[in-house]
Amino acid sequence: MPELSGSSNFDWLEDKNVKATTIVGICKNAGKTTLLNHLISIRKNGTWGVFSTGIDGEENDFLFNIPKPPVILDKDFIFCCDTATLDELGSQIVVLAKLPFPVDSPLWLAKTLIPLQTQITGPSTVKEQIQTLKLIQNCGAEKVLIDGSIDRKSIAQSEYINAVIMVIGASYGSIDEIVDEVKRLKILNSIPKCNMVSLNTPEYQFLLDSEEICLYEEGHWKPSGLVSLLSNIKPLRQIISKATEAIYIPGAITDMLYQDIKYILSQSGAQLIVRHPDCLKIRLKRLESFYNTHHPTALIPFRIKAWALNPMSLGFSSLEAEKFRAYMRAKFPDLNFIDVMELGYE
């Protein structure tokens, strides 16, 4: 069983190469804010930053209207907030910058002068989230924690994230559905980084920026003119030749497209490269077969570094939560689940 309080489960945060960590959940109310507060509490020294890809620390959940914990910041934390929060905190903070984004409600970077409770927020687009991360780092943050989401519209799938903490919430669905989702995520997390392109090279940037399917032939990457697989399977088959060594697909590969892309890869022998493992929107059984047969790689790997568990769900009793916790830990002993309900702040 994992250590319930203390920082040993997150000692890797002290690694100098881990500069940006995002917390994501498989469902709403997964316990991300509770885990975020724990990570904040175990900071040993230095200046850290924190922001959200939504809103965190509000009194009640917007969708379910249930109480939510505030974000608890120690001294010398840089965070992102709106004007109302800025005014409310007053002399407890120092304002560092106004974010340069054209929004109706301005966002600000501030630094805590004393420990405090607050609400944090951040921009909604990946591009602006990346800019916010860089601005916080430029203001002196050695580590940045991001309360994020798993989808492509979040910084969690960008090359700027060094580590992901995945929170498994009991609210996701039935126990079988949760087990299948964890198995699916484990497979996606094991998909390796593509070794055909190197970071910080023109080829890497070309693929990263491309919205088109690209083909690697005769030592060069070239765009196909096809934006997605949907309605383009036949044209893709026609342009693939024996010279096609790899296919880069930046968009989603769904269950509906599974058989088609499987056939193309089998016939061509080409290596499949996806932008991020989560682009494989394929159900577990098919994903297992696809992974074992075609060995896909990713331009940006998942980088799930730690797994957390929230056994509490709407309508769950304490006994049901205890059974769920025990079952998940027995089912996945290798994941060393950290239970967000068992965390003690130091």
Residue 200: the pLDDT is 86
Residue 103: the pLDDT is 73
Residue 156: the pLDDT is 93
Share of residues in the chain with pLDDT > 90 (%): 77
Alpha carbon dihedral 257, 258, 259, 263, in 10-degree steps, equals 100
Structural domains of the chain sorted by starting position, each given as residue range(s) with its CATH number in brackets:
8-182+302-339 (3.40.50), 202-298 (no CATH)
Which tens digits make up the pLDDT trace of 221-277? 999 999 989 889 999 999 998 899 999 999 999 999 999 999 999 999 999 999 999
Residue 23: the pLDDT is 96
Residue 6: the pLDDT is 47
Residue in this structure with the two tokens 């130091």, named with its chain if needed = 346
Average pLDDT score over residue span 2-17: 73
User: Does residue 47 carry a pLDDT above 90?
Assistant: yes
Sign of dihedral through CA atoms 53, 56, 58, 59? positive
Higher-pLDDT residue of 132 and 67 is 132
* CB within 8 Å of 334: residues ≥ 6 apart: none
Residue in this structure with the two tokens 């469902």, named with its chain if needed = 27
Question: Are residues 264 and 237 in contact, defined by beta-carbon separation less than 8 angstroms?
Answer: yes
Which tens digits make up the pLDDT trace of 277-326? 999 999 999 999 999 999 999 999 999 999 999 988 766 777 888 899 99
Residue 54: the pLDDT is 79
Residue 111: the pLDDT is 98
Give the amino acid at 274: V
Distances in Å between the Cα of 73 and the Cα atoms of 42, 57, 136, 183 are 11, 11, 15, 34
- CB atoms under 10 Å from CB of 343, counted, come to 21
Lowest average pLDDT, out of 80-84, 281-285, 339-343, goes to 339-343
User: Does residue 63 carry a pLDDT above 50?
Assistant: no
Cα 286 to chain centroid, rounded? 23
Q: Can you tell me the distance from the alpha carbon of 117 to that of 74, in angstroms, rounded to the nearest whole number?
A: 9
Give all strands (DSSP E) within 234-279, no chain letters: 244-249, 253-254, 271-274
Residue 140: the pLDDT is 97
Q: Give residue 8's pLDDT band: very low, low, confident or very high (50, 70, 90).
A: low
User: Does residue 57 carry a pLDDT above 90?
Assistant: no
Lowest average pLDDT, out of 46-55, 305-314, 337-346, goes to 337-346
Q: Can you tell me the distance from the alpha carbon of 51 to that of 55, in angstroms, rounded to the nearest whole number?
A: 9
